[in-house]
């Protein structure tokens, strides 16, 4: 599927011609394709709105999706989209110039949600939660206007793990970012094709490709301290036991309702002696 002699999409032109980079590229492409197939993301005549923030993850997502499409392995129409939310010092020309240079169909949308967030969030609180909600609403609108059936985000394996532990520690529930989600209205799907990909691989890939990275803290507000604490905890576990993140991630795909405590997922009341248990 991914021989070194194969042609590659223009998004990969200028890539390092090293064995290490080729292995990295193949691994990310393989893991993305596995997620797309495992979670049934491809629909007939689908059009995807691929969200591009300018961060390492979204650049990696865009490149890999076009690589799969280039090889005939992703039969969908792709439209890249950046939502400029009016953050101070946002480099508005970076993404349009990059997408035009790469000949990627795209839409750049300006919506000053930053002013709304600034006026409604109390001093000292982070803007991220409200900013995210407003961004999601605008992306749903854009997807409908563009005739897209799905919105595609660049969340990776580590985002999913961090969200799981944030829900566990602070939300009192076992939940995380699913790789595939239907919106409340039932007319749009939300996909996370990088669900199997490690953040470290996204970082290595984007750095090797020298993509024009836009920082995510232009507004001066950082993601909640809770997420940073969880990230530090996972980093410590990974340092002490390399591979721990991947083991925990596999656990999310290997749930046993009968060995948890939720009576809505397993009928404990009906469990009786003398009958075969259904686990």
What SS3 class is residue 106? strand
Chain centre distance of CA 193: 7
Q: What is the pLDDT of residue 2?
A: 45
Hey, how many other C-beta atoms are within 10 angstroms of the C-beta on 8? 16
Residue 112 within a domain = yes
* CA–CA dist 110, 113 (Å, integer): 9
Q: What is the DSSP letter of 260?
A: S
**Positive or negative, the Cα torsion across 215, 216, 218, 224?**
negative
What's the whole-model pTM score?
Answer: 0.89
Q: What is the DSSP letter of 170?
A: I
Q: What is the pLDDT of residue 273?
A: 85
Average pLDDT over residues 256-263: 94
Q: What is the pLDDT of residue 275?
A: 67
CATH (domain of 206): 3.40.50.620
Residue 111 within a domain = yes
208 touches 23 (CB < 8 A): no
Residue 89 within a domain = yes
Residue 226 within a domain = yes
Higher pLDDT, 90 or 160: 160
pLDDT digits (tens, 9 = 90+) for 19-35: 999 999 999 999 999 99
Average pLDDT over residues 220-225: 58
Contacts 24+ apart (CB under 8 A), 203-206: 203/56, 204/24, 205/24, 205/25, 205/28, 205/56, 205/60, 205/63, 206/56, 206/57, 206/59, 206/60
- Does 248 have pLDDT greater than 80? yes
Q: What is the pLDDT of residue 111?
A: 79
What SS3 class is residue 189? strand
Domain that includes residue 71, residue range: 10-270
Residue 91 within a domain = yes
Residue 227 corresponds to which tokens in the numbers above? 């997420």
pLDDT digits (tens, 9 = 90+) for 124-163: 666 677 677 888 888 999 999 999 999 999 999 999 999 9
Average pLDDT over residues 54-60: 95
Residue 196 within a domain = yes
Residue 183 within a domain = yes
Residue 120 within a domain = yes
Q: In total, how many domains does the chain have?
A: 1
- Does 75 have pLDDT greater than 90? yes
């Amino acid at each position: 599927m991914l021989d070194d002699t194969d042609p590659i999409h223009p998004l990969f032109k200028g890539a390092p011609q090293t064995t290490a980079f080729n292995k990295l590229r193949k691994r990310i492409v393989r893991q993305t394709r596995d997620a797309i197939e495992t979670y049934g993301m491809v629909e007939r005549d689908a059009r995807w709105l691929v969200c591009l923030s300018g961060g390492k993850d979204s650049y990696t997502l865009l490149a890999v999706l076009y690589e799969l499409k280039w090889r005939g392995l992703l039969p969908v129409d792709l439209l890249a989209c950046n939502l400029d939310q009016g953050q101070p010092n946002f480099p508005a020309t970076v993404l349009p110039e990059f997408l035009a240079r790469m000949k990627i169909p795209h839409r750049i949308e300006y919506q000053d949600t930053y002013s709304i967030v600034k006026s409604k969030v109390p001093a000292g609180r982070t803007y991220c939660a409200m900013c995210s909600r407003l961004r999601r609403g605008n992306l749903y609108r854009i997807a409908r206007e563009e005739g897209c059936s799905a919105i595609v985000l660049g969340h990776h394996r580590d985002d999913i793990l961090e969200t799981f532990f944030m829900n566990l520690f602070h939300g009192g529930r076992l939940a995380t970012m699913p790789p595939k989600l239907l919106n409340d209205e039932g007319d749009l799907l939300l996909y996370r094709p990088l669900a199997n990909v490690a953040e470290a691989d996204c970082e290595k890939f984007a750095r090797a490709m020298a993509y024009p990275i836009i920082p995510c803290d232009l507004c001066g507000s950082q993601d909640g301290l809770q997420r940073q604490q969880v990230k530090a905890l996972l980093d410590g576990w990974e340092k002490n036991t390399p591979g721990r993140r991947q083991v925990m991630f596999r656990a999310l795909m290997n749930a046993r309702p009968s060995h948890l405590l939720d009576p809505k997922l397993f009928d404990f009341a009906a469990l009786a002696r003398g009958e075969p248990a259904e686990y």
